[in-house]
Amino acid sequence: MLRFAAYSIQQELVATDPTGLRAVYGVCLLETREVWAPRLGNTEEAGLAAAPPDLAGFADLGNVVVRSDRIASYLKSEK
């Protein structure tokens, strides 16, 4: 959901503000006080990330997130 919000905001910025301002997303991890934003090729990197540029990028990133070690550890702790 955060990725889509960043994508939507970015589309508006491009349409109304040509200065190069970028929208990014991230999730605050309370247990470590870090910001996590999974990206293609690296789901363990801390920091903010730009939203995927298109629908295919969202699908690819969704698959990466679901397979990430972080999400897997949350799912295992719920059992």
pLDDT, tens only, 25-42: 888 889 889 998 888 877
Over residues 61-68, mean pLDDT: 84
Q: Which long-range contacts (CB under 8 A, 24 or more apart) does 34-37 make?
A: 36/70
Give me the residue label for tokens 């897997």.
Answer: 72
Cβ proximity of 44 and 70 under 8 Å: yes
**Number of separate domains in the chain:** 1
**Weakest-pLDDT range from 28-32, 65-69, 73-77:** 73-77
Amino acid at 52: P
Range of the domain at 51: 2-77
